[in-house]
Each structure stands twice: as structure tokens, then as C-alpha cells.
Amino acid sequence: MSQSLLSAEGIHLNYGPIKVLKDVTLTLEEGERHVIIGPNGAGKTTLFKVLSGELRPTAGQILLEGDDVSRTTGFHRVRRGVGRSFQVARVFLEMTALDNVAVAAEARHAYEGVRPGLWRISATRRVMDEAAELLSVLGLDALRDTPASMLSHGDRKRLELAMSLALRPRILMLDEPTAGMSPTDRAAAVHLIDRIMRDNGISLILTEHDMGVVFQLGTRLSVLNYGELVVSGTPEEVRQNPMVREIYLGRNAYA
């Protein structure tokens, strides 16, 4: 049996006496698109924070290609190829779209151990070209010189995705990537994410509330409820699971 790219084994997360995650176990395989769903308060974002290194689990292990990274920082996991976006886009509002992506590309060079002084002299143009190319891929080329503060919500989300891609991740974690988008922007975002994953061979793990997005993007779904894993399987297996239909999707959903 091949080794999982990322796995969470028996994860517990407590805030004092409050048990937020309870014995959660899941995996991400090479090339997989694993969507974590569940009602509000189910623990999805908390699990994301544990997987990305923002929070340390109370108990359990996070393995990255078999290596225990449970106690490592998010910075360490970025260096190991884990990129992440957030529910609310985190960009540098006072900087242009191009400069935002260039900062991320420059950070990657720092992760790779290139001495900043030498790198700045020899590679500034290369990094700016790379940033411009990513903006073009994300459909933001016309906004490259626009301050991030002037971008729409959907464009900020795309900019954050460009910044994540500038790190050249093997695993991309997206926390509700279409939240707050119009139906048109949501459809465009799904098409874009699908194409980027296929073209770059990136494995994806994401949370999402919109069921249309979930079933378009997911190759495997895991359902959380009150911090516990209810079921994990293919979209069709999850769609037909009686417990999921009752607890999350509703008793008569997708009948």
C-alpha cells in the first residue's frame, strides 16, 4: 500500500474543557481532491488550522509523506510544499496585485535557501515575470498594477490563490475558496481551480459549504459533525449515506 501524501491520525483538539475535534483520522493521496464538509461549527476550519500548522493538536499525529510534522510550524510545512488560503483573503492591501505575488515568490526563494542579497541582484526580473505569469493564469493580468485594497472580493480571492501558487506547493489547502462569491464568480473559480490542479499536478484539500462546488471538485469527501468524522468516501458514497443525508444534507436532499 502506497504512503499517503498527508494524513491526520487520531486528531483531538481541545480548548480547555471544550472538545473541538474528537479522534479525526483522514488522508490525502497524490492527485486527490479531498473536500471536508459539515454544518457550521463542525470543526472544519479548526481541522484546517491543525493540518496547516497554525494549531497544534491536543493528541494525534499529522504525517507529511510519512514524517511526523505534528509539532512543526506552518512555516516548516510551507517549506515542505503545503500552501494555504483562508476564508477571508489575506493579502497586502497597500501593495499592487503584482507586488503581492512577487512577495510570495521571493519568500519561496528564501525557503529554498537562496541568500537574499545575491538573489535580489540576479533574479528580480525573473520573479516579477513569474508573478505576472501567475496573474495572467488567474485572469488578473489587467489588474496587475491595482492596489489589492481596490480589488473586488472575488479578485482578492484569486490574488491569494496566485500567491499560494507562487510557493509552488504540492498540496494546496483552500478554506471556503468560493465564500461570498456571486454565482458567476463561483462558477469561474471552480473552473479555474479544476484547471490549475490538473495542469500542475497539485493535490487539493478544501472546505466548502456550496454543495455544487463540493460535487464538482471533490474526488473524496469527509463529513465532520460536532468535531467527529461521520464518514469519508467518494462523492457518491457520501451522497447516499443515510447519516449524512439526515445530519448535513437533509433527509430528502439529492433524493
Span 79-85, average pLDDT: 84
142 pLDDT higher than 90: yes
Which domains does the chain possess? 6-81+169-249 (3.40.50.300), 91-152 (no CATH)
pTM of the prediction? 0.84
pLDDT (0 to 100) of residue 182? 86
Percent of the chain with pLDDT over 90: 51
Q: pLDDT tens digits, residue range 175-219?
A: 888 888 888 888 888 998 998 888 889 999 999 888 899 999 999
Sheet bearing 33-37, strands edge to edge: 82-84, 171-175, 203-207, 33-37, 220-225, 228-233
Higher pLDDT, 71 or 123: 71
Residue 205 and residue 7 in contact, taking contact as beta carbons nearer than 8 Å: no
The confidence score (pLDDT) of residue 2 equals: 67
